[in-house]
Amino acid sequence: MKKILSLVLILLVCTSCKESSNQLEVSGSTSIAPVMEKLIASYEKDNNVKINLTADGSSAGITAATDGVSDIGMSSRSLTKDELKDDLNVNIIGIDAIVVVVNKNNGVDNLTIDDLHDIYSGKKTNWKDFGGINRPIVLVSRENGSGTRDAFEENIKVKTDQGISLVDSNNPVIVNSTGAVIENVAQKEGAIGYMSLGSVDDEIKAIKLNGVEPSEQSIIDKKYPITRDFYLVSKKDNKKVDEFISFILSKKGQQIMENEGFIKVK
């Protein structure tokens, strides 16, 4: 018994020395994490640096980058005024379209931004107002503070000047994961939800916005109305960080972004 306890003590002691060598800590937005994992995998192949990834949300990423706990913070929403510090540099590494999804049996396949505004603010509550079947609309929304939700609600203007979202007062189904959005929309015929273009799968149906089909081309031509940028936040003049970011913005990096359904910046 004594041996075990001494082993534990040694373990505790030796860990307090912080490892600085060639390791990078990346943490933040869950929407960016999947593609970041692939970027890291390909970057680590030809550079001997170990990059650790944690997916704990956009704001956690920004805070970690500001406090230096992470070398790079990922955010799928634009930074607020007091988050923007002068010793931070912010790079946009890709553009993502936010797609509106409905149940596969829902006849509606095109909505305008104003329709979305009426639906999510609770003015219109039945699909028959949009030529669909007579069934109440079930709003599926992401949690407060999710980058995807911020970008979506910014575009369909459902936030009062007080900063309160009208969506909350219409008994929405609030979930904090894309998987739950898919499951709720797939099982409920009256449901409407939104997610990043790359996440749409065959259990649900993505619809056109203002008549425009969500595709890479329509986003590049700026015709698709709801997009958002992927930001990387990091401290200035850190060589290893800048090398990694320049890799992401390189042809190879942007190609990986595209394979994952996101739009190239360069």
Partner 1 sequence: MKKQVFFETLYKLSIIFASLLLLLIIIFIFLEGFPALREYGFIKMIFNGEWQPTAKNPSFGLLYMILSTVVSTILSLLISIPIGILSSVCLVRMVNAKIKNIIMFIVEILAGIPSVIVGFFVLKTVVSFLYDHFYYMVGVSGNSMLAAIFVLALMSLPTIITVCVNSLEAVDPMYTEASLGLGANKIQTIYKVELRAARSGIFAAIVLGAGRVIGETMAVMLVSGNAINLPKNLLEPTRTLTSNIATEMSYASGLHQNALYASGIILFIMIMIINIVLLVLLNKGGVDNA
Partner 2 sequence: MLNRSWGVTLIKLLTYLATILLVILVFCLAGFIVIQGIGFLNKELFKESVPLIITTLMVVGLALLIALPLGIFSAIYLQIYTNNGRFVKAMRFSIDSLNGIPSIIFGLFALSFFIYYIGLNRSILTASLIMSIVVLPLIIKNTEEAIKTIKVDQIQGSLALGASKFTTINRVIIPYCIDGIINGVILAIGKIVGETAAIMFVIGTASVIPHSFMDQGSTLATKLYLIIQEPTYSSNGIGSAYGIALILLLIVVLLNLLVKLVNYLFKKRG
Binding site for partner 2 (CB under 8 A): 1, 4-5, 8, 11, 15-16, 18-19, 25, 27, 30-31, 33-35, 37, 52-56, 60, 67, 69, 176-180, 182-183, 198-199, 201, 260-261
Three-state secondary-structure class, residue 119? helix
CA dist., res. 107 & res. 237, Å (int) = 53
In the complex, minimum distance from the CB of residue 231 to partner 1, in angstroms, rounded to a whole number: 15
Is 57 a binding residue for partner 1 by CB under 8 A? The answer is: yes
3-class state of residue 202 by DSSP:
coil
Report the relative pairing of strands 173-175 and 138-142 from DSSP bridges: parallel
Report the phi/psi class of residue 28: left, alpha or beta, with left for phi > 0 and alpha for psi in -120 to 50: left
> Under rule CB under 8 A, how many of the chain's residues touch partner 1?
34
Any alpha helices (H) in the chain, and if so which ranges? 2-15, 33-46, 58-67, 113-121, 147-155, 178-187, 216-220, 239-249, 251-259
Residues 123-162 that bind partner 1 (CB under 8 A): 125, 135-136, 138, 143-146, 161-162
Residues in contact with partner 1, shown as a per-residue x/- string from 174 to 193 under the rule CB under 8 A: xxx---x--xx--xxxxx--
Residue 22 binds which of partner 1, partner 2, none (CB < 5-8 A, kind-dependent): none
Q: Which tokens in the block code for residue 94?
A: 């890709």
- In the bound state with partner 2, the residue whose beta carbon lies nearer, of 155 and 199, is 199
Residues found near partner 1 in the complex (CB under 8 A): 56-60, 63, 125, 135-136, 138, 143-146, 161-164, 168, 170-176, 180, 183-184, 187-191
